[in-house]
Amino acid sequence: MKKTRVAHIADAVGGVAVYLQITLQAIDPEKIEAFIIQGHHTKNKIFKEKHGNLVQTFLVPIQRAISPIKDLRSIYETAQILRKEKPDVIHAHSAKGGIVARAASLFYPTTVLYTPHAFSYLSTPNRFKKGLYLRIERLFKHFNSILLACSTSERNRGIREVGYKEEKALVFNNCIHPISETAFLKHDLQLPEKYLCTVGRPSYQKNIEMMIEVLNLLKQKQPNIHLVIMGVGEYSPNKEHVEQLIETYGLSENTTLIPWIERGKIFTIVSKSQLYLSTARYEGLPYAVIEAMALGKACVVTSCDGNKDLIKDGYNGYVVEENSVETMANRTFALLQNNALLTKFENNALDYFNEHHNINNTIQKLEGIYRSYSKNKV
């Protein structure tokens, strides 16, 4: 059986990098042979396949920011690589990867499976930018494009707003490997015995300001409540505003802000938390929530794409509307006061993960998608 050769084209940072790491290590290299085209600024990021071998990587000047010169160079260089390497199918990731891949495919005609990992036009409150990004998405859907959404909500949005035909809109849910205790890493942070937690950089997307508002209400009912926020790294555009809110509400003793740390340490912190929170405005299908479920944690989340695909209200957590601060605080407090219900949600969270988001049980679907859209159909 001839292998299907897949070209991944991406600005390999954040959730996209996690997606590549997980899927490449799960997919059968005897069936699927992959290589990656990524940005120069991610040259130190390496990827391995299932047997531990390095995945071949090519560098082009692809980056998230709009840069006409670099973007055109990326398209040209990507097209050159595609013509030389001759993949059977292309898998493009995120908005910029999607543009570069689909433009390059005009010079190397091949099906492009496009995974937005949350559509770009959701990333801004600016109406002009939102409209511009949406028009770009609508234009490029005509370029050898099949939507391969990472959640059902993302697929539905692609059909409803971007204009994909149903037969050209597929889903492969984000998945991870089960998390064993051997993946846990010790940390030297001084955390209280009981705390809530989240992973998300202070930004428009993650809406950490809402979480601080929720914490402020919770403190009025439970003065010793504590929130651990992980992922407060260098690129956290709303960090100062979040810190000001914490100071204004007198929550310094009730919060711990943690910069980027190893995933193993994150697993340890999440596993010992009381429950997981997300106040995101938009997602593709958030790995942080999937990991919380895999660790058997109930979640209280906002009803954005991705979150509402993972958390079923009243089953493995609660789902509230965006900016419904009082409702989220009430749901969280009620869950903390009901150990029996909390335990039920925790068990359901783990069950739901194993049924729907354990990559050991789902990777064959992605392999099948690659083969069905391959030039080399077997």
Q: Quick one: pLDDT band at residue 183, thresholds 50, 70, 90? A: confident
Q: What is the pLDDT of residue 13?
A: 86
What tens digit of pLDDT does each residue of 14-55 get?
889 999 999 999 999 999 999 999 998 888 889 999 999 999
Distances (CA, A) of 60 to 9, 24, 86, 326: 10, 20, 17, 47
Say how far apart CA 297 and CA 291 lie, in whole Å: 9
Q: What is the pLDDT of residue 79?
A: 97
- Mean pLDDT (the chain, rounded): 95
Model-level pTM?
A: 0.94
Q: Please determine, for residue 230, whether its predicted confidence score (pLDDT) is greater than 90.
A: yes
Q: What is the pLDDT of residue 377?
A: 60
Q: What is the residue whose two structure tokens read 């997981």?
A: 276
Which domains, and CATH codes, for the chain? 4-176+359-372 (3.40.50.2000), 181-356 (3.40.50.2000)
Q: What is the pLDDT of residue 378?
A: 53
What tens digit of pLDDT does each residue of 113-153 get?
999 999 999 999 999 999 999 999 999 999 999 999 999 99
Specify burial of residue 39 (Cβ count, 10 A radius: 0-12, 13-18, 19+): buried
Q: Please determine, for residue 234, whether its predicted confidence score (pLDDT) is greater than 80.
A: no
Q: Please determine, for residue 6, whether its predicted confidence score (pLDDT) is greater than 90.
A: yes
Query: Average of pLDDT values for 304-311?
Result: 98
